[in-house]
Chain A
Amino acid sequence: MSLLEARNIKKSFGDTNILKDISLDVEQNEVVSILGPSGSGKTTFLRCLTMLETVDSGSISYCGEKAVSTEGGKCVYAPKNDLKRIKGYYGLVFQNFNLFPHYTVLKNLTDAPVTVQKRPEEEVTAEARELLRKIGLSEREDRYPHQLSGGQQQRAAIARALAMKPRILFFDEPTSALDPELTAEVLGLLKELAEEKMTMVVVTHEIAFAREISNRVIFMDGGYIVEQGTPSDVIDNPSTDRARAFLKKLQAQAEPGRQSLHPPVDDN
């Protein structure tokens, strides 16, 4: 059984068709990277999968439970209580971190598990401290988000998502709001997660990174999946002109930052 099954997703805003017909299955322990030029619909696809946007048609299930299905042209979401449970299967890491500014780093990690999942506070706090130790932010647990660097904020945001124990974690361009040197520390953390067999779907522009950690790479353009396959198939031997042109442009930009794949483990 796939962790995620998305079939024939269509989405338009007004007259603009953003997602024309997209299907994606993600298996346990798989790392999927989604590449594509801006406006190709990557972010919208992610927002549909995480139900921040509603789809116009198609179906989405997590762990075999239907969140949305389309029958006879009519798109139906699961009842509220089912949806609530299904939403617990996944987490999302935002481009802009969206940490809660009025909570300390530790509280950012513990608040949702305690108030939403109703788990005991001591247990949650102990787990959160372990997560912070792992991402090198133990010293910073009492700081507020604005006292952290961008890279530290994004790592805290990832830890916040992990504290909810999701089965699958989505990343929406997790490094595009960061300077190159800060990018490295976040990508380093993602790599560690991949090594620990965390199931992940990552929308990114970091091609070298995608090649290194992904089991599968998807290239999107114009609301469709244009190519998908292993990193070497899609990144090194793209079969379409569009993918080739896009990758060439991106690689030219990314070249100076390649050594950043091996970041320092410690935070500054």
Chain B
Amino acid sequence: MNEVVHIGGIAPMPPDLQELLGRVARGDRDAFSHVYDAVCGPVLGLVRAVLRDPAQAEEVAQEVLIEVWRGAARFQPSRGSAMTWVLTLAHRRAVDRVRSAQASSDRERKAALLDRTPAFDEVTEEVESRLEREQVRRCLRTLTELQRQSVTLAYYRGLAYREVAELLAVPLGTVKTRLRDGLIRLRDCLGVGA
């Protein structure tokens, strides 16, 4: 029996998550329960960071987890780890929700965003995985100010790069390259392979 174990909260990727997803794809609810335990914390944290509204966040997180159950057969290990797959789904869903809600309250939202530029600490109040958080925080500090702001606004606030450009009053092309350069620097600092 494969048991997913959290070791002091720093084991975000149990080695057998991929194998568990394979079993989920074949309808194994027991395996799904383990997958749930491994991914739900990060999924909910990420969705909550983007949506800011706890009730909406739970709703979207639930949709994401159901999608993991339904679409497990679509997971392709050659494209990245199981955790990356799940969190990419979660981010996409959260961003879609933000953008659909956005049309109505555009003005308000921009005012609120400018008012509270996302400090990384804001979204990490309830962090369980301290080491992961510390490492990401340390690596974010290696970015230039503009890179860091662009990446965090896009990721943790779900902004499109055009909105980031508007908000920071920089040209579109600059934001595009800052997003890429920022992520590349993070990739190297975190030692992410593919």
Please indicate whether A and B come from the same complex rather than being unrelated chains: no
Q: Which residues of B contact A (CB under 8 A)?
A: none
